Structure 1
Amino acid sequence: MTESSSTGGPSQANGSRRDQATDDLHAALGHLRDAVDRLRSEIEMNAKDEWVRAKPELKTTLGDLQKMIDAAAERAKIVLGGLSDRLDSTEKRDQSN
């Protein structure tokens, strides 16, 4: 047996370096995971804050849209009623001739 194989020599050093690289990789992944968690928390807080600020404006805008839709529906109802009345009067006039 050679000295390097009996004491572990270069192959043990390579294994040790791989173990260290694996440990370093796991540590880096742990740091990355922590950073992603912090980022997620920050984004969630910012989104909640933004929603609190935007909610009243959105409610107002939705209320305005609902009023416009209601007004348009009322106008359409009036126009359709007028058209219906015209058709009825035209029909009556045609029947009496």
Structure 2
Amino acid sequence: MVRDVLRRATAVVDVVDDVFFVTVLVVAAFRVTDAVLTAGFLATVFFATGFLAVARVGVGVVAARTDAGAAAGAATAGAAGAASAPTARTTPMRRRDTVPPLER
């Protein structure tokens, strides 16, 4: 009789131990999965935030360069236009084919 009680108690303890072990494994798996998913989510958020910040800075740099380029282009065009404006010359320029042979 005592042996039967001990056998049944041992069987119950074995089942409880197995259930506890499986529960611990399942909880550990959920914790690892949760940690991995959280890390992945945070990495995605940080990457997206960083990418947007870099893109915003890049757009600002391109816009600034475009504005500066347009201003420089306008200034250069103005200077080139002023430089190419006709001026009063006292003597006409000689054509290249009329240069004497010694100067060639």
TM over 0.5: yes
- State how far apart, in whole Å, the 1-side matches of 2:48 and 2:35 are: 20
Secondary structure (helix, strand or coil) at the match of 1:2 reads helix
* Higher helix fraction (1 or 2): 1
Q: How does the TM-score come out when normalised to structure 1? A: 0.59
CA RMSD in angstroms comes to 3.0
Query: Please, which runs of 5 or more residues in structure 2 have no aligned partner?
Result: 1-21
Question: Does 1:47 pair with 2:75?
Answer: no
- Relative contact order higher in (CA < 8 Å, ≥ 6 apart): 1
Aligned to 2:23: 2
Secondary structure (helix, strand or coil) at the match of 1:71 reads coil
Equivalent positions of 1:1-97 (< 5 A) are 1-3=22-24, 5-6=26-27, 8-62=30-84, 71-73=93-95, 76-77=97-98, 79=100
Change (3 A) 1:41 1:14: same
The list of structure 1 runs, each at least 4 consecutive aligned residues, that deviate by more than 6 angstroms after superposition, is none
**Residue deviations 1:32-90, cap 9 Å, x none?**
111101110010001111112221212244568xx9xx8242x634759xxxxxxxxxx
Structure possessing the higher radius of gyration over alpha carbons: 2
Q: How does the TM-score come out when normalised to structure 2? A: 0.56
- State how far apart, in whole Å, the 1-side matches of 2:34 and 2:25 are: 9
| Length, aligned pairs only | 75
